C-alpha cells in the first residue's frame, strides 16, 4: 500500500509475519484490540518498553498492561489466585485486565511495571492481536496507542493522527468493537475495580463481592491520573451549550438533529454510546469546535465507564 498513510497496513499473512519479526527485534507496532488500538512492544525488552514510554510521552510512573495469548503463557510472570481463575474462565479472552502479584522470576522488565510488585495482565479477544500473540515468544506491553492524556484511538487513522510516521507499522483492523478501554480489576486483595469498563461491577459481583471501600472507583492505580482521555478542548458536563460554535454530545431520541449536536446513540444504547464516544470527540475537535458540552448519561451499567471517561476528559 503506497499512499500518504504508507505505514497503515491491512491485515494479511505477510504483514503478520513482518509484525512478528519487527516485534522480535524490539520495535513497536500499533495493533487493534477489541477495546482500543494498542502500541505494542516486547514486555521482556527494556529497549522496547522504554521506547513505548518515549513515543507516548508517558510518565514513567504509569505502568503498562502486559498482554498474553493464554493463561499458560502468563504463569511464569504472575501469581494466580482463586478469583483470577474464576474470572479468567468466564471472561477471557476479553476486555478485562487483572492486577496480580508479580512473580519473583518474572521476565517482565521493571520499566513496564514502573518497578511495582504487581502487574496488570490481559488476554485480548480481537483476532488480529491474538494471531500476533500466538506467534511471538514473549508477551506484549501495550498501552493505548495515543499520546499520554489524550483520547484512545479506535481505528488506524486515529493512531496515525497521534504518531504520524513515528510508528512504522499500524495494522488496520477497522473500528474497534467496544471503543473504550478494558475494565481493570485489582485482585491482589479484596477485589476492586480500578477502571470501569464494559465488564461491569454487577457482572463481577456475580463471582464475589467487589470492594467499594474508599469510595467509588477511588483509585490507587498510579495511572489513574485525574486528567486523561482529553480531546484537547474544554469538556463541560451536564450542560447545554449557548452558542452554535460549541458542540453538544447528546444521548437518546429526544434530541434534535442540529448541526452542532452529536448523538452517541439515538436509541439510548450504552454499548453503542461507548463505541462512539472517542470517535465523536475526535470528530468534534477536527471540525474545529472550541468547546464540548455533554448531556447527562445514565450512570448505571456501562454508563459508569462512559461517565468515568467523560469526567476525566473534563478535568
Ligand atoms: O483496553 C485496554 O486496556 C487497552 C488495550 C490496548 O489493551 N490498554 C490500555 O492501556 O488502556 P493503558 O496503558 O492506556 O492503561 C493501563 C491502565 C493505566 O491506568 C495503568 O495505571 C493501569 O492500567 N495499571 C497498569 N499496571 C498497573 C498496576 N500494576 N497496578 C495498578 N494499575 C495498573
Ligand atoms: Mg491509555
Per-domain boundaries in the chain: 8-212, 235-313
Q: What is the mean pLDDT of residues 221-249?
A: 87
Q: Find out whether 154 and 162 touch, Cβ atoms under 8 Å.
A: no
Q: Which of 128, 181, 219 to mutate to test the pocket of ligand 1 (most atoms within 8 A of CB)?
A: 181
pLDDT per residue as tens digits for the range 86-142:
999 999 999 999 999 999 999 999 999 999 999 999 999 999 999 999 999 999 999
Report how far ligand 1's centroid is from the alpha carbon of 288 (Å).
Answer: 30
Q: Ligand 1: which atom is nearest the Cα of residue 182?
A: 1
Q: Domain 8-212: which CATH class?
A: alpha beta
Q: Do domains 8-212 and 235-313 have the same CATH topology?
A: no
Look at residue 83 in the predicted model and tell me its pLDDT: 96
* DSSP code, position 63: P
**Could you give the C-alpha distances from 2 to 6, 9, 14, 72, 216, in angstroms and in order?**
5, 10, 16, 40, 49
Alpha-carbon span 44 to 32, nearest angstrom:
21
Percent of the chain having pLDDT more than 70?
95
Banded model confidence at residue 224, pLDDT cuts 50, 70, 90: low
For the CA atoms of the chain, what is the radius of gyration?
19
Alpha-carbon span 306 to 196, nearest angstrom:
8
Banded model confidence at residue 209, pLDDT cuts 50, 70, 90: confident
Among 56-60, 217-221, 244-248, 288-292, which is the least confidently predicted range?
A: 217-221
Position 2 pLDDT exceeds 90: no
Alpha-carbon span 252 to 273, nearest angstrom:
10
CATH number, domain 235-313, options 3.40.50.10190, 3.40.50.11030, 2.40.110.10, 1.10.150.120: 3.40.50.11030
Q: Is the pTM of this model over 0.85?
A: yes
**Could you give the C-alpha distances from 143 to 52, 197, 200, in angstroms and in order?**
8, 16, 21
Nearest to 202 by CA among 215, 212, 214: 212
Q: Find out whether 266 and 253 touch, Cβ atoms under 8 Å.
A: yes
Banded model confidence at residue 227, pLDDT cuts 50, 70, 90: confident
Position 215 pLDDT exceeds 80: no
Q: Which ligand has its closest atom nearest to the C-alpha of 63?
A: 1
Banded model confidence at residue 6, pLDDT cuts 50, 70, 90: very high
Give residue ranges with CB within 6 A of ligand 1. 33, 35-36, 38, 62-65, 97, 99, 113, 116, 118-120, 122, 124, 142-144, 181-182, 184, 194-195, 221-224
pLDDT per residue as tens digits for the range 7-43:
999 999 999 999 999 999 999 999 999 999 999 999 9
Report how far ligand 2's centroid is from the alpha carbon of 54 (Å).
Answer: 14
Look at residue 217 in the predicted model and tell me its pLDDT: 47
Nearest to 155 by CA among 256, 40, 36: 36
Q: What are phi and psi of 171, to 5 degrees?
A: -90, 130
Q: Which residue has the cell 508479580?
A: 102
Q: Ligand 1: which atom is nearest the Cα of residue 178?
A: 1
Alpha-carbon span 202 to 206, nearest angstrom:
7
Amino acid at each position: 500500500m503506497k499512499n500518504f498513510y504508507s505505514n497503515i497496513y491491512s491485515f494479511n499473512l505477510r504483514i503478520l509475519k513482518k509484525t512478528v519479526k519487527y516485534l522480535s527485534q524490539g520495535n513497536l507496532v500499533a495493533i487493534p484490540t477489541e477495546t482500543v488500538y494498542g502500541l505494542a512492544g516486547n514486555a521482556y525488552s527494556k529497549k522496547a518498553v522504554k521506547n513505548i514510554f518515549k513515543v507516548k510521552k508517558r510518565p514513567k510512573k504509569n505502568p503498562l498492561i502486559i498482554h498474553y495469548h493464554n493463561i499458560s503463557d502468563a504463569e511464569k510472570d504472575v501469581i494466580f489466585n482463586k478469583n483470577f481463575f474464576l474470572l479468567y474462565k468466564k471472561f477471557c479472552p476479553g476486555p478485562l485486565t487483572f492486577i496480580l502479584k508479580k512473580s519473583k522470576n518474572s521476565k517482565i522488565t521493571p520499566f513496564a511495571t514502573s518497578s511495582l510488585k504487581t502487574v496488570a495482565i490481559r488476554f485480548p479477544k480481537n483476532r488480529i492481536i491474538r494471531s500476533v500473540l500466538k506467534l511471538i515468544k514473549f508477551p506484549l506491553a501495550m498501552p493505548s496507542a495515543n499520546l499520554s492524556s489524550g483520547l484512545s484511538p479506535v481505528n488506524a487513522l486515529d493512531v496515525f493522527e497521534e504518531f504520524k510516521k513515528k510508528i512504522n507499522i499500524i495494522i488496520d483492523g477497522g473500528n474497534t468493537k467496544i471503543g473504550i478501554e478494558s475494565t481493570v480489576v485489582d485482585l491482589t486483595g479484596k477485589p476492586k475495580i480500578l477502571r470501569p469498563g464494559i465488564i461491569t461491577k454487577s457482572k463481577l459481583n456475580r463471582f464475589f463481592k467487589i470492594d467499594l471501600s474508599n469510595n467509588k472507583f477511588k483509585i490507587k492505580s498510579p495511572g489513574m491520573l485525574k486528567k486523561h482521555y482529553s480531546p484537547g478542548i474544554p469538556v463541560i458536563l451536564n450542560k447545554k451549550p449557548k452558542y452554535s460554535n460549541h458542540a453538544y454530545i447528546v444521548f437518546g431520541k429526544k434530541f434534535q438533529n442540529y448541526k452542532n449536536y452529536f448523538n452517541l446513540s439515538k436509541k439510548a444504547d450504552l454499548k453503542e454510546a461507548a463505541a462512539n464516544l472517542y470517535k465523536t470527540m475526535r470528530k468534534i475537535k477536527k471540525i474545529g469546535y472550541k468547546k464540548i458540552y455533554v448531556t447527562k448519561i445514565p450512570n448505571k451499567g456501562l454508563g459508569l465507564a462512559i461517565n468515568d471517561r467523560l469526567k476525566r476528559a473534563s478535568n
